Structure 1
Amino acid sequence: MGIYLNPGNEEFKRIIKSNYIDKTGLISIINSKIGTKKNLVCVSRPRRFGKSYAAQMLCAYYDCTCESKELFAKYGIAELDDRLSYLNEFNVIYLDITSFISDRTSKGDSINSVVNDIQDAVIKDVSDIVEVNPQDSFTNILLKYVEQSGKKIIFIIDEWDAIIREAKDNNEVQTAYLNLLRSLFKNGNFTSRAVAVAYMTGILPIKKDGTESAVSDFDEFTIINPGKFAEYTGFNADDIRTVCQQNETGITVDELKEWYDGYSFDGVNPIYNPYSVMQAIEMGRLESYWRKTTAAETLFTYINMDFKGLQEDIARLISGEQLHVDINNFNNDVETFNSKDDVLTLLIHLGYLAYDNDTQMVRIPNKEVRTEFDSLLKNESKSKLADLVKRSDNLFQATLNLQGDMVAKVIDNIRCSEYAPTFYNNEQALRYVIKFAYICCVDSYQKVEELPSGKGIADVVYLPKKGSNLPAMVVELKWNKTEEAAIQQIKDKKYPTILQDYVGDILLVGVNYDESVKEHACVIERIARQCILGT
C-alpha cells in the first residue's frame, strides 16, 4: 500500500462513519466501463458537491491491496450487483492534483515543476515493487508494473483541472500537464494495455484545444449535462428526507430546499448542494456555507468583467429573472472569455448559476447562493453594480418615507441608465425598469409579478420575508395615465386581499410614465392592513 499507488480504503472507512448518504450506485456505472472503449470518464461539478467522497469510494472498491467486501455489503451497490463485480481486483493510482499544487505553494515555490512532481511521486511508490530504470519514460515504468503485477490500473484523478485554474497564465505548465494526460490516456502503446478505467473529477470540463477537447477520448459528464451521473451529482429529494429523519435538528425538508436546492438535471430534480446540507445539519443552523469553502474563485472577479450587457444580466438575475445563455463557445478555462455568455457559463460550472437544458435559461439557484450575490451588492468597493444599488437604496428609503417625487426622480435616472430596455414604449418596459429600481430589496422581500388578487392582477407585489418588520408593497404601473389612477385601481380591484395572512402595514405605490413629457410620476400611500381589507 502506497501514498498514490493503491492507497487502500482507510479514507472511505472514515467517510462512512459520519452521516454518509449512499452514493455507491455510481460504482455500477464505472464497472460497466471496464473492458470497453468507453473507459475514460471525466465528471465535472462545482466545489463541495461530493467529488472527493466519490473518488475515495472508488479507491476503496477497486484497490487490490485491501479487503472491502464488508464496507460495501450494506450499501446500494450490493443490491445492484450482488457479486460486487471487480471488487478489489485492480491496481489504483489516486492523484489529488490540488495536493501537489499546495505542496509547492506552501513552500513559496512556483508550480512550474508540478507535473514532474506528480510523475516522481508515482514512480517512488512503484519503485518499491519493481525495479525502475531512470531512463525509462513514465508510461514504460507503469507498463512494466502492470505486466509484473498482472493487474491493470484504475486511475482516479481528483481536481484534475486544478492546474488549469491555478496556472491560468502559465501556458507552459498547462501544456506539460495536458501532455501528461495524453501520454496516459491517448497513447496507443499504453492506454489499452495498462488502463482499466480512468475517472477524473474537476470543476471544469476538459480544456478545449481549438474547438475540440485537449484530451479527446474522454466521455464528459458536466454540471450542464451530467447524463447517467446526474443522480450522483448531489443530494436528491430522497436523500434529503433521509438526512432529516436521521438527524433531529428541527431543520425541515422545506427549509433545506429553500436554502440549498435549485439545481436540476434530466430525470433528477431537485438536486441539493450536499456539503452545505450536511454543514447545516451538523451546525443546526441554516446559513451560507458556500463562502466558508476554500474556493479560489471569487464571484466579483467574474461579474465585474467588461463585457457588453454583463452587468445588466447580473442585475436581472439578482432581481429574480431567468436569462438565456449560449454555453457552446466556452473554452473550459478561467482565462479565455470572448463574451458575457462565456462568463455566465463559467458561473454555471462554479455552481453560482443553475442551468436548464430544455429552456437554455439560467437563474440563481437558491437562498445560499443568493446571499453571495446580495453580499456583492452591499460591498460597493467590489461591485460595478454599486451605482445602481445606491440609487435603489435611495428609492427604497423614499418609498418608505412616502416621497413620491423622489421615487419618480430615481426611476427617471434608472430609466436613463444601461439597465433600461432599448425601446421604452409600453407598460412592460416600465415594469422592467421597476425591477432594477427595487433591486436593493432582494434580500428582504419576495417579489411576485402579475399576482392574481381580488378583482384583477397586481402588477408587482413585494412580500416581506419571514422575520422582517418592513411593510408590504403593492406596485401598480400606468402608461400615459396618472399615478392617482394607479392607486385607485389598487383599491378598486382589492389587490391587497392577497396579503390576508400578512400582519403589518401595506404601501400602495402608483407609478405612471407620461410619454409627452418623458417623465415618471409616483404617489404612495401607507395603509394599515385592517383598513384596506375593510374597504
Structure 2
Amino acid sequence: MGIYLNPDNDGFWRATHSEIYVDKTGLIEYTNKCLNTEQQYICVSRPRRFGKSMALKMLAAYYSRGCDSRELFMGYKIEETESFHEHLNKYDVIFLNMQQFLIEKRGRDVIEYLEQEVLEELLENYGNLLTKPVVGMAAMLRKIYAKTKKKFIFLIDEWDCVMRERQESEEMQKQYLDFLRNLLKDQSYVALAYMTGILPVKKYGVHSALNMFSEYSMIDQFVFEEYTGFTEKEVAALCEQFRMDCSETESWYDGYLFTEFRHIYNPKSVVEAMRRHKFSSYWTTTETYDA
C-alpha cells in the first residue's frame, strides 16, 4: 500500500467506528455499474461538509488492492449486492487530494510535484516492467497497462482547488486542466475516475478538457440524491437514537429539496446536533461563505 497508489482503508475504518455513521455504501453499487463504461467519469460538486471526502475514502477502501476490506463492509448495504465480491479490493487505486499538493508544493510547479510523488510509488510497484525511463504519469500508466492489462481507478478530492485558489493565474489553470485531460481522457488504463469539488466542471468548459465527465451538482444530483446528505428516514432514526426532536431538526437542517428524496439534510450539522444534543449553525462555522 502507498500514500497515493493503493491506499489503505484507515479513513473509512475511522468513519465506521465513529459515534455516528450513516450507511452510504449503496453508492458503490452504482460506481460498480459505471466501471469500464461511458459513464466511468464522475464529478460530484457540492458545498463543503456534504460528505464528498468521506465518499472517496469509502471508495478507496472498497477498490484498493492495498487493503483487505471484506470484514469492514460486512453488514452494510453494499454487501447485499451481487457485485460486492466481484470488485472488492481488485483495482489499483490512485488517490489524489489536490488541496494537499497545492499546499505542499512550496514554490514548485504543482503538477511537477504531483507527478514526482505518484511516479515514485508507481516505480516502486512496477519499475521492474520498464526497460527505459518514462516521462510523466500518463506515459508510465500506459506502459504498465500494456504490460499487465491492469486498470486503474482515480479518486480525486478537491479537484477544483487550483481553479478556486489560483484564479489570477490562467496559465496554471490551463496547465492543470490539460494535465487532467491527458491523464484521464481516452486512456485505456482508466476503469473509473471519480472527482469531487465545490465548483461545477462546466464552469471551465471553454477548455473542453473535462467534457468526458458526467456532473452531479446540487441542482441535479440524479442517482446521487440519497448520497448527497442525510435523508429524512436517516435523520428520523438518529433523532430517535439521540432523543432529539425531529420537527426542530427539520427546521434547522432540512436544506435541500430533490426529486426522489424530498428532504436532504446537511450531514455535518445533523451529526454535531445529535452528538452535542443542541441545535446550532454548525455548518456555517466550518468555512467562510465563499469557500
Per the TM superposition, whether the score is higher than 0.5 is yes
- Residues in 2 aligned to 1:49 and 1:57: alpha-carbon distance in whole angstroms: 14
Confirm whether residue 127 of structure 1 aligns to residue 123 of structure 2. yes
Q: Does 1:225 align with 2:220?
A: yes
Separation in structure 2 between the aligned mates of residue 228 and residue 186 of structure 1, nearest angstrom: 23
One-letter amino acid of the counterpart of residue 41, structure 2? L
Q: In 2, Cα distance between the equivalents of 1:84 and 1:244? A: 34
- Cα deviation for residue 184 of structure 1 reads 1.6
Given residue 90 of structure 1, which amino acid in structure 2 is its aligned partner? Answer: Y
How many residues matched? 287
Residue 148 of structure 1, CA deviation = 4.4
- CA drift of 1:85 comes to 2.9
Aligned to 1:298: 289
Match of 1:204 in 2: 199
Classify 1:58/1:210 alpha carbon distance in 2 versus 1 (closer, same or farther; 3 Å).
Answer: closer
What is the TM-score when the length of structure 1 is the normalising length? 0.51
Greater share of residues in strand:
1
Cα deviation for residue 253 of structure 1 reads 1.5
Decide whether the 8 Å contact of 2:200 with 2:217 is kept in 1: yes
The C-alpha deviation readout for 1:73-104, integer Å capped at 9, x for no partner, is: 21011223374331111100001111112224
1:261 is matched with which residue? 254
Q: 1:277 deviation in Å?
A: 0.8
Classify the secondary structure of the residue corresponding to 2:257.
Answer: strand
Higher helix share: 2
Letter in 2 for 1:32: K
Counterpart secondary structure, 1:275: helix
Residues 433-483 of structure 1: per-residue CA shift (max 9 Å, x gap)? xxxxxxxxxxxxxxxxxxxxxxxxxxxxxxxxxxxxxxxxxxxxxxxxxxx
1:262 Cα deviation after fit: 2.1
Larger Rg: 1
2:125 counterpart SS class = coil
8 A contact 2:115–2:136 mirrored in 1: no
Q: Aligned partners of 1:113, 1:96: CA distance in 2, in Å?
A: 16
RMSD of aligned residue pairs (Cα, Å): 1.9
* Matched-pair contact (CA < 8 Å) for 2:178–2:209: no
1:141 matched residue in structure 2: 140
State the 1:11 CA deviation.
1.2
SS of alignment partner, residue 280 of structure 2: coil
Aligned partner of residue 265 in structure 1, secondary structure: coil
Q: Pairwise mapping of residues 65-464 of structure 1 onto structure 2 (< 5 A)?
A: 65-81=66-82, 83-104=84-105, 109-110=106-107, 113-131=109-127, 133-187=132-186, 191=187, 193-209=188-204, 213-247=208-242, 250-293=243-286, 295=287, 297-298=288-289
Q: Name the amino acid aligned to 2:46.
A: R
**Aligned with 1:268: secondary structure?**
coil
Using CA pairs under 8 Å that are at least 6 residues apart, name the structure with larger relative contact order, 1 or 2.
Answer: 2
Residue 258 of structure 1: CA displacement? 1.0
Q: Is the 8 A contact 1:143 1:194 kept in 2?
A: yes
2:43·2:215 contact (CA, 8 Å) conserved in 1? yes
- Secondary structure of the residue that 2:154 maps to in structure 1? strand
Deviation at 1:204, TM superposition (A): 1.1
Q: Partners of 1:167 and 1:54 in 2: how far apart?
A: 26
Contact 2:29 2:83 in 1 (8 A): no
1:15 — aligned with what? Answer: 15
Question: Residue 511 of structure 1 aligns with which residue?
Answer: none
1:242-300 per-residue CA deviation (whole Å, 9 max, x = no partner) reads 222333xx42211211111120111111000001111112222211112331x3x535x
CA contact (8 A) 1:97 1:160 kept: yes
Deviation at 1:135, TM superposition (A): 4.6
Secondary structure of 2:36 counterpart: coil
TM-score, normalization: structure 2? 0.92
What is residue 434 of structure 1 aligned with on the other side? none
Aligned-residue identity in percent:
41
Aligned equivalents of 1:101, 1:114: Cα separation in 2: 6
Bigger shift: residues 237-246 or 224-233? 237-246
For the residues of structure 2 that align with 1:213 and 1:234, how far apart are their CA atoms?
Answer: 30
